[in-house]
Amino acid sequence: MSLLRIKELRTLLHKYNHSYYVLNISLVSDFEFDNLMCELDTLEKKHPEYEDVNSPSKRVGGDITKSFNSVKHQFPMLSLSNSYSKEDIVDFDSRVSKLIDNTFTYLCELKYDGVAISLIYENGQLVRALTRGDGVSGEDVTANVRTITSIPLSLIGNYPEKLEVRGEIIFPRPAFDLLNKERLANGEQLFANPRNTASGSIKLQDSSEVAKRKLDCFLYALFLDNSVTNSAYEHYELLKKWGFKTPFLDKNYVKSVSTIDEVMSFINYWEKSRNDLPFDIDGIVVKVNELSLQKLIGNTAKSPRWAIAFKYKAEQVSTLVKNVFYQVGRTGAITPVADLEPVEISGSVVKRASVHNADQILKLDLRIGDTVFVEKGGEIIPKIIAVDFTKRNKNQLPLDYIKCCPECNAELVRFEGEAQHYCINSNDCPPQIKGKISHFVGRKQMNIDGVGEETIDLLFNAGLIANVADLYNLKKEDILPLERMAEKSAENIVNGVEASKVVPFHKLLFALGIRYVGETVAKKLANHFENIQSLRIADFDTLVNVDEIGDKIAESIIDYFKSPINNELIDQLIGFGLNFEKAKIKDELSTDLLKDKKIVVSGKFNIVSRDEIKRLIELNGGKNISSVSSSTDMIICGENMGPSKLNKAKKLEIKLVVEEEFLDMIKVNQHSVEENPPIQGEIQF
Ligand code: IVH
């Protein structure tokens, strides 16, 4: 009965997904969809014996891939030869025409600017997804690809038993802009462009993070055992019938043409219209359409002879530099920015361009009043390529790089080996103070709702906060009088701040904004030191002995804890009850959910310590076992789990459970984490 319902739900949800993400038609309300998904989720949890890696419930991700296996491609993944001029296209046409006696057609397509992917289906099920790699072997990124909603996990219609399809994973512009907007609000570094971000996303270890990225995929090549058609164009029609998202045939994304003039019109059309597309393209692909002729013409070692890419040049315009001003970042890094006479480029109006650093100003010999060439590739911030010296006037003097911070007037320093100047007056320089607070409240750090950049500005300007500890003193009555502050927003801030007190130690460590201590380093430190006191007193040798901590990070941590201001801040935060040590779970939460289960614990953990995991296993009726065997029920795996254990586990098909899953399993949530008693006693420095 349950299996029947599970199957029914999977078919239904696959159908709704396909309709929504591939055909753009919504068949059910979000509410109904969520209810069905919830029902499926509950049944699947109750019946792990009916597990299906391609269940629609897998779309949200959750699998962790520590290292991506290299797998050989069935056919090499070639690249395309590039051309930048219309003459190259004419040459290509005459080369092809010489090789072919009969009439033939060309297929003109968009060249999607993303990352190539090969998808393998057996009996209508997605079994593998590989990156291009070196063209011969690619990396197995199946778990991550399963989260891309427009890629079917289960095919429909009359599909062949085996097929391979290739395409491009892209980051649609609107989703990319939204992601960067969120990152800006969280004080995180912005991603440079959709292509690199798509490529980075597909290699993330945590597939639930990939699911959040809203990637998309267009397909452009199909390999079948027995081809049923001689036309690449018809391949698209077949793929569409089987449930794939092909380039929209109706939107002129693909066009079958018979003459080189028509190829040129396609190129010209998209050169003008490409800025209206909701994703980036970097050119046009021209292919011989007939599959038998493609075979006849063949490939070189690197690329097919039957296809060519026409790449659009990054658009360049010239404009005037009205001024150069200097921005101060969260870390005190100074970035010179050119204030430009507004100019339209690639469909958007550009008013500013980053000049990176003092060396770049010298290299370009940039002066105020110059006319410059500006280029916008895929990047968000346009680049100044060169100065138009023919327009330079004698009165324009070389730029004098600033010596003092434009915000707080402190003298700037330039560290050895670094290109940027820094303001090191970090505790008294307003953009640095605000930047630190904004980093602290970020989603991946303390995740304090309701405190965005604007609110931080308001609170700072009103003198209510001058450092992150001040957040914990905020009262609703202090916030309410601020401009445009409603009762509800004020309440949200106070509640958000309060809720952050239980945020795990590694996130708090990341939130402090110690130079070079990013998310990953913070996890390593939290794993090793387990509480702030032992980290505070760690000397250089102790620090560099920690996994992945090098000289630069160690020095930065020591510097941080040398400062009396930083120590005072930490003492204040300890006083407010923030979680400065790894969590301990309350004993009264014991269950028999793991009764008689034989469990191996391996690797390092982030939220609780390894010993705590072991204690929790016993508390919930399980048994701790040291080595993996066929009688092992599950392995709780942390970071850097030993490869021999992992291989053995895979061979014996033993269930692997990550830390969060385990805590979920025994129903531990943030609220059951004991509030750590404030750490007593002063540390002497
Ligand atoms: S056909 C040689 N068609 O461009 C393999 N490729 O620079 C046949 N690409 O590796 C590729 N859009 O990742 C083809 N419409 C399209 C494409 C396309 C983007 C990518 C693809 C390929 C790269 C070559």
Order of strands across the sheet that contains 634-637: 623-625, 598-602, 634-637, 655-658
How buried is 627 (Cβ within 10 angstroms: 0-12 exposed, 13-18 middle, 19+ buried)? exposed
Q: How far is CA 347 from the centre of its chain?
A: 25
State which ligand 1 atom lies nearest to the alpha carbon of 115. Answer: 13
Rg (CA), the chain: 29
Q: What SS3 class is residue 235? A: helix
166 lines ligand 1 (CB under 6 A): no
From CA 607, how far away is CA 637, in angstroms rounded?
Answer: 13
How buried is 515 (Cβ within 10 angstroms: 0-12 exposed, 13-18 middle, 19+ buried)? middle
pLDDT score of 433 more than 90: yes
pLDDT score of 651 more than 90: no
pLDDT score of 381 more than 90: no
From CA 140, how far away is CA 624, in angstroms rounded?
Answer: 32
Q: What angle do CA 667, 672, 673 make, to 5 degrees?
A: 120
Exposure string of 267-285, with b = 16+ CB inside 10 Å and e = fewer, is beebeeebeebebbbbbbb
**Domains annotated on the chain, with CATH:** 2-60 (1.10.287.610), 70-311 (3.30.470.30), 316-413 (2.40.50.140), 430-502 (1.10.150.20), 505-575 (1.10.150.20), 587-667 (3.40.50.10190)
Q: What is the dihedral of CA 567, 572, 573, 578, to 10 degrees?
A: 120
Over residues 302-313, the mean pLDDT reads 94
Over residues 170-176, the mean pLDDT reads 95
Over residues 135-142, the mean pLDDT reads 95
Residue 186 pLDDT: 67
Residue 252 contacts residue 108 (beta carbons within 8 Å): no
Q: Which residue has the higher pLDDT, 666 or 12?
A: 12
Residue 147 pLDDT: 96
Residue 297 pLDDT: 94
DSSP letter at 428?
Answer: T
Residue 590 pLDDT: 67
State which ligand 1 atom lies nearest to the alpha carbon of 287. Answer: 1
165 lines ligand 1 (CB under 6 A): no
From CA 541, how far away is CA 664, in angstroms rounded?
Answer: 37
- Residue 166 CA, ligand 1 centroid: distance in Å: 9
Over residues 540-561, the mean pLDDT reads 92
Residue 148 pLDDT: 97
* Residue range 320-352, pLDDT digits in tens: 999 999 999 888 999 999 999 999 887 788 999
58 lines ligand 1 (CB under 6 A): no
The model's confidence at residue 657, banded by pLDDT at 50, 70 and 90, is: confident
Residue among 72, 53, 51, 71 at smallest CA distance from 63? 53
- Percentage helix, strand, coil for the chain under 3-state DSSP, each rounded to 5: 40, 20, 40
Residue 149 pLDDT: 95
Residue 680 pLDDT: 29
Exposure string of 355-392, with b = 16+ CB inside 10 Å and e = fewer, is bbbbeebeebebbeebbbebbbbeeeebbbebbeeeee
State which ligand 1 atom lies nearest to the alpha carbon of 303. Answer: 2
Over residues 542-546, the mean pLDDT reads 93
Give the global pTM: 0.65
Name the packing angle between helices 564-575 and 551-562 (round to 10°): 80
Over residues 46-58, the mean pLDDT reads 92
Exactly one of 58, 111, 376, 523 is catalytic; which is it? 111
The model's confidence at residue 675, banded by pLDDT at 50, 70 and 90, is: very low
The model's confidence at residue 539, banded by pLDDT at 50, 70 and 90, is: very high
The model's confidence at residue 382, banded by pLDDT at 50, 70 and 90, is: confident
Question: Percent of the chain at pLDDT above 70?
Answer: 95
303 lines ligand 1 (CB under 6 A): yes
- Residue 648 CA, ligand 1 centroid: distance in Å: 39
Residue 496 contacts residue 450 (beta carbons within 8 Å): yes
Average pLDDT value for the chain: 89
DSSP letter at 1?
Answer: -
